[in-house]
Structure 1
């Protein structure tokens, strides 16, 4: 499970520094979960959002806003996931030497 202090700090930075175009895509979320071998339920539980919200977001049926998106991204970041999004690439990378608590 993600460290609450790390997750809180990540979410605070995200709310201050982010813009709409920096949010992760459903495909990035699915890819990050696959790299981490997390189920949708595990991601939902750790981020504090509903399973239906994670399922709907990953299916492209709904968007996540504000704190829900920050919480989801925070869980992934604390576990070593880095989002890639620039003019040529979109995806995720995983810091393999990272070891969560």
Structure 2
């Protein structure tokens, strides 16, 4: 997961940085710095962030010639 995917995933869920931090059990500063590309968290931290977003219905799309992205799981209601 890269910073842009993280921001996009939060937007799909209508989550604040604080909500993601709480769901992943990390500090909000960690989310803020990662999304701003100000720091690169440890792999374990990236993993818990991604798992929290996936548990809420986000699917991470790998590089496929168009670039990496995110989408919501089918049947996931927005809002």
Q: Normalising by structure 2, report the TM-score.
A: 0.87
Which structure: larger Rg?
1
Higher helix share: 1
Q: Could you say which residue in structure 1 is the equivalent of 2:31?
A: 54
Consecutive unaligned residues of structure 1, counting only runs of 5 or more, are 1-23
* CA RMSD, Structure 1 to Structure 2 (Å): 1.3
Consecutive unaligned residues of structure 2, counting only runs of 5 or more, are none
- How many residues end up aligned between the 2 structures? 76
State yes or no: 1:35 paired with 2:23.
no
State yes or no: 1:93 paired with 2:65.
no
Cα distance in structure 1, aligned partners of 2:74 and 2:63:
22
